[in-house]
Structure 1
Amino acid sequence: MPINNYYGFGRIIFSLACAMCLRIAPWPYDLASFNPDWVLMVLIYWSITFPERVGIFHAWTFGLLTDVLTGRLLGQYALAYSLVIYICLKLHKRLRRFPLLQQELFIFCCLLLSQLLLFLIKNLQHPAQLHGTFWWPVITGTLCWPVVYTLLRFVRLSKPVK
């Protein structure tokens, strides 16, 4: 039985590592502003699916890793991820029962909250203006949620290879 637990945790870590690679992947300059927050979406999925395995500690840890990988102020993504995952953990029983369209609305709110926190922290460092590109990661993340959900569900439900 412990082998399955380690195998399931390996899937979670592998999917988060893939999401971090997508987060820092070199996109063409025109498409870079459309890159959604893959790490947050994967964290949301796993925290809704396995709230006893993926929680605020994982959100904080992967937020710090995202801070380091993106070169942002240390703790910026960690704070945003932790707050969003806290909300997901509080609502995980309801969110599991939502149809995919309602989940997309919730994902939109989570991604928007994360973007707003990141903008406010950036604005505390030096005054910044809110541009139209602010919305693109939120919108593309919301549109990508059914694909992320389906792919991670397939990963979660697939049988281990012996």
Structure 2
Amino acid sequence: MIMPRGQQLLLPANPMFILFTLLMALFANMVVNISLVGNAAWMPDFLALTLVFWCVHQPRLVGIGVAFFFGVATDVHQSALLGQHALTYTSLGFMAILMHRRLLWFTVPSQAMQVLPMFAVAHALELMVRMMSGALFPGWPIFLAPLLEAVLWPVVSVFLLAPQRRAPNPDANRPL
């Protein structure tokens, strides 16, 4: 694949770092849902954001199976309808893998605009499953979550790509 002009060549992603970031995102969702704001509908889903990021940047390592596993783990943690988050995360993983080649040609702020509809569809799917199972409508602030996830996309991109930007053997005469 020909790289876009001005884009930095990245080192390969460490699979242990990917697993660590996914586990930390799951832990962040658990902490936010348990202690800080309760199960607020407007809070962004950090695990979904991290899953989409890694499905875009490393589709061979993180795919639909990983998304399903973390979706079931989220369902068990939140005592939600079993499969609700699994369906949402697998659909997000599928959409991310479907458009990952095209998405990487855009700048990071443009990528945020491209992933916004993906997050909106995922939250609408989750809301539909939740309401079909008999739950009440959580309120209009639920539509803030995809917007907040799209706003967080550049921040997540900077932090998760930082280990790949370092030089493998740094020295003063050969910066990467």
> Is the shorter-chain TM-score for this pair beyond 0.5, marking a shared fold?
yes
Shorter-chain-normalised TM-score: which range?
A: 0.7 to 0.9
Alignment TM-score, normalising by the size of structure 2: 0.79
Once the two structures are TM-superposed, the CA of residue 129 in structure 1 deviates from its matched residue by: 3.1
Give the structure with the higher percent helix: 1
The offset of 1:33, in angstroms, is: 4.1
Aligned residue number for residue 7 of structure 2: none
- The one-letter amino acid of 1:21's match is F
Give the match for residue 52 of structure 1. Answer: 60
Asked whether the equivalents of residues 16 and 43 of structure 1 are also in contact (C-alpha less than 8 Å), the reply is yes
Q: Secondary structure at the match of 1:54?
A: coil
Secondary structure at the aligned position of 1:142 is classed as helix
Larger radius of gyration, structure 1 or 2? 2
Equivalent in the alignment of 1:106: 114
Partner of 2:88: 80
What is the aligned residue count?
155
1:86 maps to a residue whose letter is F
Cα distance, 1:21 vs structure 2: 1.2
Aligned counterpart in structure 2 of residue 40 of structure 1, from 44, 48, 52: 48
Cα deviation, residue 128, structure 1: 3.0
- Normalised by the length of structure 1, the TM-score is 0.86
Q: C-alpha distance in 2, partners of 1:10/1:130?
A: 36
Deviation string for 1:2-44 (max 9, x for gaps)?
Answer: xx98x81110110001101111112145x94442111111111
Whether 1:18 and 2:24 are equivalent positions in the alignment is yes
Considering only aligned residues, what root-mean-square deviation do their CA atoms show, in Å? Answer: 2.2
Distance 1:37 1:155, change over 3 A: farther
Unpaired runs of 5+ in structure 1? none
Q: Letter of the 1:143 partner, please give it.
A: V
Quote how far apart the aligned CAs of 1:141 are.
1.2
Change over 3 Å in CA distance of 1:53–1:135 after alignment to 2 = same
In structure 2, what is the Cα distance between the partners aligned to 1:69 and 1:158? 36
Give CA deviations for 1:69-123 in whole Å, capped at 9, x if unaligned: 2221111111111111111111111111111222111221121111101110011
Distance verdict in 2 for CA 1:27–1:82, change over 3 Å? same
In structure 2, the partner of 1:62 is 70
Identity of aligned residues (%): 25
1:158 Cα deviation (Å)?
A: 4.5
